[in-house]
Each structure stands twice: as C-alpha cells, then as structure tokens.
Amino acid sequence: MRQRITKAIFPVAGLGTRFLPATKSIPKEILPLVDRPLIQYCIDEARAAGIKEFIFVTSRGKSALEDYFDNAPQLEKTLRKKGKTELLEELRQTDMESGAIAYIRQKKAKGLGHAVACAHRFIANEPFAVLLPDDVIAAEKPCLQQMVEAWEETRGNMVGVMEVPDDQISSYGVLDVKDDMNRLVAARGLVEKPSIADAPSRLAVVGRYILTPSVMRELRRTDPGVGGEIQLTDAINRTAMQEDNVYGYRFEGTRYDCGSKAGFLEATVDFALRRPELRDRFAGFLRDLPETKPEEKQVVAGALKAI
C-alpha cells in the first residue's frame, strides 16, 4: 500500500519577541485572529489534509497551548446549563483526541531545522508534514490539502512556494528552479535567506512542507547555517542534491506572515471581512475611517470583491 501522510510537526518553540509585551505571559500561537488562536487555523488546515497525529515542538512557557487543546469540563458544563449549544460546537473544534497530540520540548533555540529534528523519534520511515503556524494561508482549498494532492503524483519532498518581490527575498528559503511546470516546480536545490544577488529565483518557501524520512536523517547531521542556526532548508537542499526529488508547489491562496505585526493585522482584516456576522459593520468602519485615503478605500473595496 502507498504511504499516506498522517503526521505533522508544528514548530512552536519561538519566543514571539516581536509581539512583546503581549507574549510575555501567553504564547504567540494563542494570539487570536478575530476570535480563534493562530494555531487553530494551522490545525484545521492539517486536519483537512488528512493529518491524524499532531506533534508540537514547544519550549518553556507554552503550557497555555496544551491547555487549549485539552477538555474544559467546567466551562462545557456551564455552557450546557445555559443552553449555549453554538459555543459548545465552537469548542469542539479545539478538542484533540488524547494521544493524537504530542508535545516535545526543544531545550535550546538552535533553529527551525533543530526544532524539526527534535521530533525524530515520533517519525518512523514515513513521509511527514511540517507546518509553521506563523504562516497563515487563506484559501478555498486548504494549502496543505492542495499540496498533498499534488504530492500523490510526485512523491518525494514538496515545499509551498510563492513569488516575492526582490526586497523581500532575503527573508526566505529560495528555490533553485530546474523545471517550472506552472503550479508544480521541480527544484535543483534550495538556498536559505540569500542576498538578492545570490538568490537563484524569486520563488520563496512558505511554511508548508511535505518531507521524506531522508530529510529527517539529514537534519540530524546538518551543521548550523545562516544566522548560526540549523536550517531545515539546508537539509532539504542536501536531499535535493542526492535524491533529485524536491518540488515547489505554487499554492492557490493568500499567505499572511503572522510573525510580523503588519502581517498579523492584514490577516485580521481579511479574516474579519470573511465572517458574515462582522463583514458589513467592519467594512463600513474601514471605509469611513477619517484617515482612510482614497487608495486605501479601494483596497477595502477590492478585498471585499475578492471574498
């Protein structure tokens, strides 16, 4: 039988310093986009793609994440008593079957590659997914599901990619393109955070990966790279060189960098405008802001049309 992807790793050990002081006492992944924590979007996306086992790589101070996915018997009892069935239904989305979710501590902040490698005991000789919760992707068909469907044809390793402007390319892992087949792009290799001059393309890796067990093995012998950190990109790159099985997938959807304040705010606006109960009032508010310039009003109008 062909292998399916049922396990996903969520690296959530970061300190979230860009969101201090909010993240002094709560993990960044619990910050809400409208009314749902960042992590919930990622979990829903993984579930839609068929993921059954969720592996969180955490650090000190992230216990609120564990509580979030636990039962809340007292709260549920109170809601039941008050007949709040809709809210109970909402809460059910946060319910994780015992044993479907595992937490591993990354004891030292040694980079994304190291965080993923911390989960190696949970991954047998099987392909697995990695999702970075900072990257929130609004899409009709969830991004990882699009990728899994494409991966059924290619197998090997697959990373979500999107075109980015020149001045942003050095913030990403970048694809060295071998064969551009529209949505699917065969890669010769990957480079982590290159300068504009060294960037082999403008196709940037976003935080969605489907990886082979070879990458996990590579990771465990990967030395620190850019920024002195063990880079996931470097291990994928080495696998690409040896096995020639790395693909980029140009997903359909809009990606928000919720690791930055501006990205988080943009995502908040987009997701709020997608909610029928908020849309009219919120759109009106944006349109009528005295400071809103005509071109910004156009952006709001455009966003509403696109939804």
- What does the binding site for ligand G1P look like in residue numbers (CB under 6 A)? 112, 132, 135, 172-173, 192, 204-207, 231-233
Dig out the tokens for 284 from the structure: 């009106």
Which CB, 84 or 250, lies closer to ligand G1P?
250
**Nearest distance in Å: CB 302, ligand G1P:** 25
Strands 184-192 and 246-250: antiparallel
Which CB, 55 or 230, lies closer to ligand G1P?
230
Burial grade of 276 (CB within 10 A; 0-12, 13-18, 19 or more): exposed
**Nearest distance in Å: CB 112, ligand G1P:** 5
Instruction: Return the residue matching tokens 């942003």.
Output: 168
**Nearest distance in Å: CB 271, ligand G1P:** 18
Alpha helices, DSSP H only, in 102-193?
Answer: 112-117, 143-154
**Nearest distance in Å: CB 83, ligand G1P:** 43
Q: How many CB atoms lie within 10 A of CB 283?
A: 18
Which CB, 207 or 248, lies closer to ligand G1P?
207
The vertex-115 CA angle with 114 and 120, nearest 5°, equals: 85
Which CB, 93 or 171, lies closer to ligand G1P?
171
Q: What share of the chain is helix, strand, coil (3-state, %, to 5)?
A: 45, 25, 35
Which CB, 59 or 292, lies closer to ligand G1P?
59
Q: How many residues does the chain have?
A: 307
The whole-angstrom separation of Cα 254 and Cα 120 is 31
**Nearest distance in Å: CB 193, ligand G1P:** 7
Dig out the tokens for 248 from the structure: 């980029």
Which CB, 236 or 283, lies closer to ligand G1P?
236
**Nearest distance in Å: CB 41, ligand G1P:** 14
Coil vs helix vs strand at 164: coil
Q: CB nearest ligand G1P: which residue?
A: 173
Please report, for residues 24, 57, 135, 159, 228, the alpha-carbon distance to residue 62 in angstroms, rounded to integers and kept in the order given. Answer: 11, 10, 19, 27, 24
**Nearest distance in Å: CB 95, ligand G1P:** 28
Strands 173-181 and 184-192: antiparallel
The whole-angstrom separation of Cα 297 and Cα 295 is 5
Dig out the tokens for 92 from the structure: 């059910």
CA-based nearest residue to 243, from 215, 220, 263, 203: 215
Which CB, 79 or 207, lies closer to ligand G1P?
207
Which CB, 150 or 226, lies closer to ligand G1P?
226
**Nearest distance in Å: CB 78, ligand G1P:** 39
